[in-house]
Amino acid sequence: MEDQNNPTNQSTGTNQSAPSQKKWIIIIVLVLVGLYLVQSFVFSPGRMTERILEKASNGEYDVSVERDGTYNVTGKDGESVSVTSGASTKIPDNWPSSVPIPKGVNIEYVAVMSGKDSEAVSTLTYTTNDSMQSVSDLYKNELTANGWSIEGQISTGDGFVLSATRNEKEVTSVYITSSNGKTNVTLSVQTIK
């Protein structure tokens, strides 16, 4: 009597379900890998942003979006912009030590812009638990001690702005505000080459 649950081919005596199952497993794995690659490289938000910005500039700029969220834009003439925000944001390598950034602050935004043969501008934003007054005192004292000349400063109840120059080739601006119990600081340093 024949066993109907036995998948053996009666004419050849071979088991056809094992190769068939392997074939379907391989097809499913290939489809999943293909979908992952398409999603990662074609439809990723970063890659889509790159293509949109490059197309909008008519090919004048090369745009790349890094895994850490950094946007890099480079022009044909050598000018460049790099913008980072979020958890991976850190002090840029070219940040001058004469413009201090206290330890333990939460850096939220960094932009570095440079021209081929001209100026460079770096901007950094951070938050701290220190008071607005202590932060403004820090910059007034440290900038002066590091050779900067304070050109102007304005203090209001909810903000402070300071500008300083050094060596006729560097300009820095400090913007300080306070909200929700935190002090927000934006620093900008411009170097003229």
Q: pLDDT by residue (tens digit) across 87-97?
A: 778 898 889 99
- pLDDT tens for residues 105-163? 999 889 888 876 667 888 999 999 999 999 999 999 999 999 999 999 999 878 999 99
Q: How far apart are CA 112 and CA 82, in angstroms?
A: 5
* pTM across the whole model: 0.68
Domains of the chain: 89-191 (3.30.160)
In this structure, are residues 161 and 177 in contact, taking their beta carbons and an 8 Å threshold? no
| Token pair recorded at residue 110 | 């960094």
Q: How far apart are CA 95 and CA 82, in angstroms?
A: 14
At 119 the pLDDT is 77
28 pLDDT higher than 90: no
Strands (E), 42-181: 61-65, 71-75, 80-85, 106-114, 120-128, 149-156, 159-166, 170-179
- Residue 49's pLDDT band, with cuts at 50, 70 and 90, is low
